[in-house]
Amino acid sequence: MNNIKRPPKVEQVKANFDAAFSQQDITVTAGIIIRNREGLVMRACTYPLRRTRDPTTVEAKVYLQAIIFGEEMEGDALIVIKKLKSDLADRSKIGNIINEIQRKRFNFGNLYFEFTPRKTNKAAHALATRGYNLISQSYWTEEVPMEVEPTVVNDQRRFLNR
């Protein structure tokens, strides 16, 4: 089933992001890929998340980091997406992170939060997994690491065939 979401409008970009957990060395890494309307990578980054083990908190922190990159975002953390779409004050353990994301969203003309299953967010997950080997944040412009390129190209094909 092809569940790649629609391309962004011409004046927008799309940020796909995910976190990867390594049980072996207890590492959490985030990956963010920013694409234009043609599905081409404009910017990508990985970064370690320290002192965070709870999966929902990790996903919320990834959203917070990704919000500075794009206007239309997709992610596979349904709990966080529901909280971001809610008008109610969040009093959960990730409430402070959700509230900060909500405040930052007003810096954008159009900002959308959208859930996408992990199977359609493979490139961001592959990038996050690649980040296990990196000690600090890493950034790429108009490219991704060689190991992630096949996944990005495959996603781009499905993205354009919508």
CATH superfamily name and code, 14-153:
Ribonuclease H-like superfamily/Ribonuclease H (3.30.420.10)
Model pTM score: 0.75
Angle of helix 149-160 relative to helix 122-130, nearest 10 degrees, comes to 170
Residue ranges per structural domain of the chain: 14-153
Q: How many angstroms separate the CA atoms of 128 and 32, rounded?
A: 8
The mean of the pLDDT values for the chain is 81
Beta bridge partners of 34: 15, 43
pLDDT band at 1 (very low <50, low <70, confident <90, very high): very low
Of 139 and 73, the one with more pLDDT: 139
Of 37 and 24, the one with more pLDDT: 37
